[in-house]
Every structure is written in structure tokens, then in C-alpha cells.
Amino acid sequence: MTPRLQRWRQSLKAGWKLLTQNRMGLVGVIMLGSVIGMAVFAPWIAPYDPNETSMVTIDDIYAEPSREHIMGTDDGGKDVFSSFVYGARVSLVVGFTAAMISMIIGGTIGLTAGFLGGRIGNFLMRLTDIFLVIPDLPLMIVIVAILGPSLWNIILVIGFLGWTGTARIVRAQSLSVKERQFVTRARAIGAGNFYILRRHIFPLVLPLMVTNTVLVISLSILDESTLSFLGLGDPTTLSWGGMINYAFTRGAISAGAWWAIVAPGLGIVWVVLACTLVGNALEEVFNPRLKTHHLQGESKMIPHRGLAEPVVTDDHVVA
Amino acid sequence: MLLPEPPLLEVRRLSTNFETEEGTFKAVEDLSFELQTGESLGLVGESGCGKTTAMLSLLRLLPAAGRIVSGEIRLAGQNLLELDEAQMRQVRWRQISMVFQGAMNAFNPVRTIGHQIGEALVLHAMAPSLDAARPRVIELLEMVGIPGSRETLYPHQCSGGMRQRAMIAMALACGPQLIIADEPTTALDVMIQAQILELLEGLQANLGLSIIFVTHDLSIVAEVCHRVLVMYGGVLAEYCDVDTIFNNARHPYTRRLLAAFPDLSRPTGRLISIPGHPPRLNDLPPGCRFAARCPLAFEPCFAEQPSPRLLEAGHWISCHLDRGEVA
């Protein structure tokens, strides 16, 4: 067990190094890490508890940023920064969980369709096509409106509608992997379908899935923000989208309270950008050919200076 | 009383087709041969003449469009075509294993060679887990001349020769009686070729293996095989022992093939080739498949397909020409 664990750690380390060597990837990791840190340590970071009831005077409503409220206050006189910090929790939880659901559904359908092919594969891909052409947003609105706006409903709706891209990518990859000779060899060794899928095809599809997951996370966060902005968010928890919704519908703009909108808005942009950067960097880690190929740039094999000078070996002079 | 030992492998009138949208491709037709324990057979022919298809038929591992339409394949008396899929899985690798063409592609690039050799052991319940299979994997690697500590290498970290050795180690994992070596030395340089062939010969002698060498390199055949089967366009052209093929070949195709082999004593001589193309397997001529390229073809060759006949003891040939006319 130990050597295998060691190897795992080694390859993780190497992957991490590659990821962070990529400057944009490093920026993305830091950006995403900061938000995750903020969400995890919210009670220690936020100066106020956003769920606490407090006495408010008229001056507290949409108060400008000040020493007590570094991002000002919202329509209820609550500290925007505290809501922002706690709101990261909702956005991230929805984003990650919904993306996981998408990955599991899309991965399973893509792998099955690609590996089995034939009638089953065709059926699954037509199903994917149907989900692909349905306009997501109206359907999400309808479903959430019918089921009621709870956090879990939102997660499930986003997860169950967001898997189509993953399914297509995974299918394409498993189609190409299954034709490779080591699959025939595995069959010759006496392996069954499930074994081949698990041991030989999945590991080669996984990198693609991981890269895709990161991008699906950002899409899910965007979807959640959209739904919340439209007033379909969970009323008991305040997400970034919800914050914008409240500020927008309760006169923040006419009151000139830009801070109530800018903070959560930038938060969304921040996370989506971070996910995109990490996703792109992961893609380069898993597929180094994206970055360099043999026709690109100058060869690192030839020393620049050595060319003009004759190379002297023991008894020959090679021009 | 001395009875001749029954052959280990007996293939009788095997025919394999590929059903595609462009029609039926008769990749292998009416192929018969047999193999004794400890014997090695060379399967020779041009690219696309059905060598690999015939071998994949033995393992019943044809691509989706492939169908074995008739014939029987008897391994130690058991007809493999009558087994169900689960039984067939037991035959694969335990009784027949295969060294694949191009070892690089036959290894999964993201798993170590040790794991992939161990896989065979685990799948055939010879080891409970990959970790438990390690000692045996190391033993197998040493058997083919790779230090056991190298089992943690990934395929891309190995040289071509090492990969081929590892592939052979994998083929030996479950102690098969028959190994199919599909072009085991293609893409290796001559030195490594010689080493690999030597290794296979040594293993054959030590373990009493039967080996089928699929190749288009007649020098390999001359070096390691006892008997030779020459295929042309999916059918048996000539089947005899190795001395006969080099000294007394009868089929015009075999003779041309031998003539095409460059002569070392005349390095400046022109290279001889066989003019024309192999037949298209979905649009076969009515007669002999080689007739269009055969310089000796006469009327019946274009009308009727010759079936394999016994010329003399152990010498089969599919040709209309009589002995005298071939000379």
C-alpha cells in the first residue's frame, strides 16, 4: 500500500507544481482559495452576524461605507460586508454540489454511451441532445417556481440541467480511448466490460472530467446567482445573487447605494474568473501539448552558441 | 503402441467475415492448420491478408463487425467456438495469450507496467490483489530480462525493447500453452529484434510453449519457426515446414515472396516486387485470389478457387498448377 500512496503523493505534487508554475493558474488558485477561506472562516471574518436582529435607525439604511461598516449597509441597515462573507458560503455550496451532480450524471451517461455505443449509446446521446436544446433558464425558473425555492431544489435543478456538455466531452473521449489497443489487450487478458471501463477507460477520461468540473462549478454559481437575482433564491439564506436582488428591488440604485450591488457582483465575477483560470491551467497540466508542440518555438535541444563553433571531439573536428 | 500425439491447436476450415456497409469482407476463408506442443508456426503474408484477423479469431476478440462464420478451433480437444463468453474469458491468457503488435499501444499509458502485468494475475484469480501479485510480477520481469525493480515504470519510460519484453512477461503471466506473437519485432532495431527472438526461443524451450509468429519478415521465419503458413488474400496459399518453404516452395506467390527478399551477396541488385495489388476482400474474383498477379495463371485459375490440397506429407498448397508446371 505504501509505495502506491507514495506514488500518489508524488504525482499530486508534480501536478500541483505544474499548476502553480502556470502564472494564470496560480492566480486562479489564490483567488479561489481566498473565497473558499472566506466562506469557511466566515464567523471569524465577518464583523457582524447577518442573521442577528438589530435595532435600526433611518440613518443606518444604505449608510455609506464607514469605519463601522467597511462596505456600507443594505436596505435593512445590515452590514454589507458580513452578508457578503456569509453569502460566499451559499454560492460555493450551490456551485460545488450542483457541479458534482452534473459531473456524475454527465460522466455516467458519457462513459456508457461512448463505451457501449450502438443502440444504447445512440439513445443516451439523443437524450443529451434534448436536454441540450431545452433553454435552461426558463425551465429552471419554472421548476423552481413549482417546487418552491429551497437551497436543495436550486442545487438539484442546476445539477440536473447542467450535465449535457460534460456528457458529450466524456463520450467523445471514451469513444477514442476504447478503440486503442490496450483495451483489446485488456480483453485478451480476460477482462470484462466493467473492469475495462473502470481500470482502463475511466483513468484516461478523468483528467478531462476534472477540468470540465471546474468550469461547470463557475457556470453553476452563475446559474444560482441568476435564479436568486430573479427572486427565486432560498429566502432563508442570502446568496450573492440574493443580495443583488434585494438591493436592486429595494431602491439601492435610486438611493445611490452602489456598494450594496458592487460587493456581491464583484464576488460573482471573482469566483467565475478564478474557476476559468484554474480550469484553463488544469487543461494545460493534463494536456501539455496545448502549450507547446514540436513545430512551435525554437528547439531547446540545440545550444545557441554551440552552433557556430566547431565541435572538437577526441580526434575529429566536426564543423 | 505409438499413436501420434494429438495437436495442441487444430484449426479446421475457419472463415471470418467483416460485415460492413460496403458489403461483406471475407477476411479469412477456409483456413486450416494445426500446431503441436512446443512447435512454432510462422504465419506470413502481406499487410491486410488476414493474419491478424485469423489470430484474433482464435481468441474470439474480433472487432464489432467481425464474425466467425464457419469452422472450428480446437484447443487441446475443446472447440473454442462453442464456449460461452465467461468460459472464453478463462481460455484467454490462461491457455492462449498474445504479444501484441507494437507494445507501446498495448500498454495503458497511465498505469505502470507492473500493474498491467499483475492485472492478468488478478483477473484469473492467481493473486487476490495487485499488491499481492507483485512478487510474481517481479519474477516474470526477471524471466524476460528486466530487473524486477523496474515494475514501477510507466510505459513511456521504457525503451522499445523493454516494452516488448514487458509485453512478453505479460503474455507469460498465467502460464499459457500457446502464445500468439503478432509481429513481435516490428519497429525494433535489428539488435533488439535478435534479442527478443532469442528470448522467445529460450522461453519456448524452457516452458514448452507453442508459439505462432505472425510476421511478414521471412528472416524471422527462417530463424525461429518449425512450420510456415503463407496466407494470401485471406486464404491459405502454402503450408509446410520451414525447410520446404525455402528450398522447395511450390506456390507462385511464395516463390515471388522469396524472390522479393533482398540478396545480400548482390547489394546493388534491383529489388524485386510482385506487381499488382492484393484483391479487394469485398469484391473477390471468382477464381484464385492470386490469379490477377500470377505470371503462371491459366484458365482454371480465373474460373475456380483452388482449395488446399496435400502435395506431399506435410505440404499443403492452394494452387491449380501441377508440380511439373510450377517449376
Of B98, B107, B131, the CB nearest to A188: B98
A288/B contact by beta carbon, under 8 A:
no
Of B64, B90, B116, the CB nearest to A190: B90
End-to-end Cα distance, chain B = 41
**CA gap A234, B296 in Å, rounded:** 88
Q: Do B131 and A204 touch (CB under 8 A)?
A: no
Does residue A262 or residue A72 have the better pLDDT? A262
Closest CA to B233 of B10, B9, B53: B53
**CA gap A275, B112 in Å, rounded:** 32
**CA gap B219, A67 in Å, rounded:** 89
pLDDT in tens, B198-236: 999 998 988 889 999 998 888 888 888 999 999 998 899
Of A56-70, A85-99, B121-135, B313-327, which has the strongest mean pLDDT? Answer: A85-99
Contact B83, B91 (CB under 8 A): yes
Q: Do A188 and B102 touch (CB under 8 A)?
A: no
Q: Topology of domain A18-50+71-288, per CATH?
A: MetI-like fold (1.10.3720)
Closest CA to B10 of B82, B88, B76: B76
| Choice among A49-58, A187-196, B224-233, B256-265 with the minimum mean pLDDT | A49-58
Contact A42, A86 (CB under 8 A): yes
Predicted structure pTM score: 0.77
Q: Residue B204 domain-assigned?
A: yes
Q: Which residues, numbered 65 to 94 in chain B, qualify as contacts with chain A under a Cβ-Cβ cut-off of 8 Å? A: 89-90, 92-94
Give pLDDT, residue B327: 40
Closest CA to B276 of B285, B268, B286: B285
Give pLDDT, residue A172: 92
Q: Do B61 and A187 touch (CB under 8 A)?
A: yes
Model confidence at A311: pLDDT above 70: no
CATH number of residue B210's parent domain: 3.40.50.300
Number of domains in chain B: 1
Q: Rounded to 10 degrees, what is the CA torsion of B17, B18, B24, B27?
A: -50
Note down the domain range covering B305: 9-95+176-264+273-326
A·B CB contacts under 8 A: 64
**What is the pairing mode between strands B227-232 and B40-44?**
parallel
Q: Residue B20 domain-assigned?
A: yes
| Choice among A204-218, A292-306, B252-266 with the minimum mean pLDDT | A292-306
C-alpha cell at A188: 485478451
Give pLDDT, residue A315: 52
Q: For chain A, what is the mean pLDDT?
A: 84
Give pLDDT, residue A286: 80
Residues of chain B under the 70 pLDDT cut:
1-4, 322-327
Closest CA to A177 of B109, B230, B120: B109
Q: Which residues of A fall within a CB distance of 8 Å from B100? A: 181, 184-185, 188
CB-CB neighbours of B44 under 10 Å: 26
pLDDT in tens, A261-287: 888 999 999 999 999 999 888 888 887
Closest CA to B317 of B261, B228, B235, B250: B250
Write down the domain spans for chain A: 18-50+71-288
Q: Which residues of A fall within a CB distance of 8 Å from B120? A: 189-190
Q: Do A188 and B92 touch (CB under 8 A)?
A: yes
Q: Residue B104 domain-assigned?
A: no
Alpha-carbon distance B106 to nearest alpha carbon in chain A (angstroms)? 4
Contact A277, A25 (CB under 8 A): yes
Q: Which residues, numbered 179 to 208 in chain A, qualify as contacts with chain B under a Cβ-Cβ cut-off of 8 Å? A: 180-182, 184-192, 195, 199-200, 203-204
Of A180, A189, A200, the CB nearest to B92: A189
Q: What is the DSSP letter of B216?
A: S
C-alpha cell at B122: 488478478
End-to-end Cα distance, chain A = 55
Contacts of B267-275 with CB under 8 Å at 24 or more apart are none
Q: Residue B132 domain-assigned?
A: no
Residue of chain A with shortest Cα separation from B89: A190
Q: What share of chain A is helix, strand, coil (3-state, %, to 5)?
A: 70, 0, 25
Phi, psi of A206 (to 5 degrees): -55, -45
**CA gap A289, A300 in Å, rounded:** 16
Does residue B48 or residue A92 have the better pLDDT? A92
pLDDT in tens, A235-265: 888 889 988 988 888 877 887 788 888 889 9
pLDDT in tens, B230-287: 999 889 999 999 999 888 888 899 988 888 887 777 777 778 888 888 888 888 888 8
Q: Residue B309 domain-assigned?
A: yes
Q: Which of B80, B119, B138, B164 to mutate to test the interface with A (most CBs of A within 10 A)?
A: B119
ipTM score of complex: 0.80
Residue of chain B with shortest Cα separation from A203: B110
CA distances from A46 to A74, A84, A155, A156 (A): 15, 9, 25, 29
